[in-house]
């Protein structure tokens, strides 16, 4: 294994996973690799599971907080945190394939006797089916302390020492939940508008957000619909409603003390792209750049000529009819614009390297146009 660029560490927060995390960090430091930290929680299966989930509430905020507590000693390591619901082995393998993972490092025993057998079977399934090497670690195996960078390398402060802040944004009669993350003094803030059936814990948007944070931007991943509204398909496709709430979220984050003066960009996916473009047309003073990933800009057809912010449309070459819709929308945009087609990629960008390509394109677009906006304001 001569080159390791991406390491995946699935965790269940057990002692064995903690040992595996230290090994993953040491390897990421040695290879200069990106580290993906993933937790998979199970879907409710029985009626009792469903009832317990309703009683206990949404588990994701607490789980995301636990994920963000896993921080390498070497703060130069690029870390992407992902949370997903489903079968652990299947999700781990999917993330590994989608991100072009070069190595998986995971523990083999869980927190309890029952979990030990479950995690053992997960590790076995992943080892048997993975398309890359898998290192499994028992809690009894000694792992050397993680190497740290040389003295003088600054530890970037993340929101008063916290890498993430769960926020509540009041918008009219509803309160929207979001996750705000940044490093040091942000060079800009990117607000994410998620697509139909998705939310702020979307693994794909989390991945893109991690790349942006690594480049010095703040990110606000916000649920534009409440949990109840998300069950209403009419609201899911109500791009005017989504656009209004996105604009409100952008106004809110721009007033946060840590974000004052930072130019704002929108990153939209699927129907969220239409919301981003409608919001950009309605409130041009609030947004300096827009990026659409696999989006539906055609749903903002009447608003496209009024968009002033530089706009990048990214779409997979095999994503029809979305590709055709993007080409049509591109012609109606009158702003500085670019359409980039990712060859061989379908709608979910699950092909190896496709999502990384999107993240880099988005980063470069925001670096160019949010930086220009900040210079102009200065």
Give Cβ neighbours of residue 297 (< 8 Å, ≥ 6 apart).
273, 274, 277, 304, 313, 325, 326, 329, 330
Task: Provide the token pair at 271.
Answer: 């129907």
At residue 77, the pLDDT reads 86
What is the three-class DSSP state of 215?
A: coil
**How would DSSP label each residue in 140-162?**
TS--PPPP-PPTT------TTT-
Give Cβ neighbours of residue 120 (< 8 Å, ≥ 6 apart).
108, 109
At residue 139, the pLDDT reads 57
CB atoms within 10 A of CB 119: 24
What is the three-class DSSP state of 360?
A: helix
What is the three-class DSSP state of 267?
A: strand
Kindly give the interhelix angle for 203-214 and 354-377, rounded to the nearest 10 degrees: 50
Low-confidence ranges of the chain (pLDDT < 50): 1, 110-119, 141-162, 375
At residue 148, the pLDDT reads 39
What is the three-class DSSP state of 133?
A: coil
User: Containing H/E element for 16?
Assistant: helix 15-31
- Which one-letter DSSP state was computed for residue 278? H
Task: Provide the token pair at 25.
Answer: 């960090």
At residue 376, the pLDDT reads 54
What residues are paired with 36 via a beta bridge? 8, 80
Tell me whether the CATH fold assigned to 6-137 matches the one assigned to 165-377.
yes
At residue 109, the pLDDT reads 61
**Residue range 165-377, CATH number:** 3.40.50.1820
At residue 373, the pLDDT reads 58
CB atoms within 10 A of CB 113: 8
Compute the distance between CA of residue 215 and CA of residue 212 in angstroms, rounded to an integer: 5
- Which one-letter DSSP state was computed for residue 213? H
CATH H-level, domain 6-137: superfamily: HUPs (3.40.50.620)
Domains in the chain: boundaries: 6-137, 165-377
At residue 192, the pLDDT reads 97
Task: Provide the token pair at 97.
Answer: 């394939």
At residue 144, the pLDDT reads 47
Task: Report pLDDT digits (tens) over 26-72.
Answer: 888 888 899 999 999 988 878 877 777 677 677 788 888 888 889 88
């Amino acid at each position: 294994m001569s080159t390791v660029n991406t390491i995946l560490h699935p965790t269940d927060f057990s002692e064995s996973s903690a040992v595996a995390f230290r090994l993953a960090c040491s390897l990421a430091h040695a290879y200069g690799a990106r580290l993906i930290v993933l937790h998979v929680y199970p879907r409710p299966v029985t009626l009792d599971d469903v009832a317990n989930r309703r009683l206990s509430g949404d588990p994701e905020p607490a789980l995301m907080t636990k994920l963000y507590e896993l921080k390498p000693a070497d703060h130069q390591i690029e870390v992407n945190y992902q949370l997903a619901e489903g079968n652990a082995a299947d999700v781990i393998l999917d993330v590994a394939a989608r991100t072009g993972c070069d190595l998986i490092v995971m523990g083999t025993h869980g927190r309890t006797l029952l979990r030990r057998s479950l995690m053992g079977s997960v590790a076995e399934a992943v080892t048997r089916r993975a398309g890359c090497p898998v290192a499994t670690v028992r809690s009894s195996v000694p792992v050397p302390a993680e190497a740290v960078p040389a003295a003088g390398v600054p530890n970037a402060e993340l929101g008063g020492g916290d890498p993430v802040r769960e926020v509540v944004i009041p918008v009219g009669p509803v309160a929207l939940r979001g996750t705000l993350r940044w490093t040091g003094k942000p060079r800009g803030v990117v607000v994410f508008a998620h697509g139909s059936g998705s939310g702020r814990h979307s693994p794909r948007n989390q991945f893109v957000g991690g790349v942006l944070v690594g480049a010095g931007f703040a990110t606000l991943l916000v649920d534009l619909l409440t949990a109840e509204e998300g069950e209403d398909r009419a609201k899911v496709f109500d791009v005017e409603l989504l656009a209004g709430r996105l604009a409100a979220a952008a106004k809110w984050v721009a007033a946060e003390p840590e974000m004052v003066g930072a130019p704002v960009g929108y990153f939209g996916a699927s129907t969220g792209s239409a919301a981003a473009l409608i919001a950009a047309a309605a409130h041009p003073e609030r947004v300096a750049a827009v990026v659409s990933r696999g989006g539906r800009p055609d749903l903002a057809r009447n608003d496209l000529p009024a968009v002033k912010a530089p706009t990048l449309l990214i779409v997979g070459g095999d994503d029809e009819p979305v590709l055709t819709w993007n080409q049509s929308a591109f012609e109606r945009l009158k702003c500085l614009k670019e359409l980039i087609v990712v060859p061989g990629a379908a709608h979910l960008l699950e092909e190896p390297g496709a999502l990384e390509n999107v993240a880099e394109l988005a980063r470069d677009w925001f670096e160019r146009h949010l930086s220009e906006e900040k210079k102009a304001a200065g």
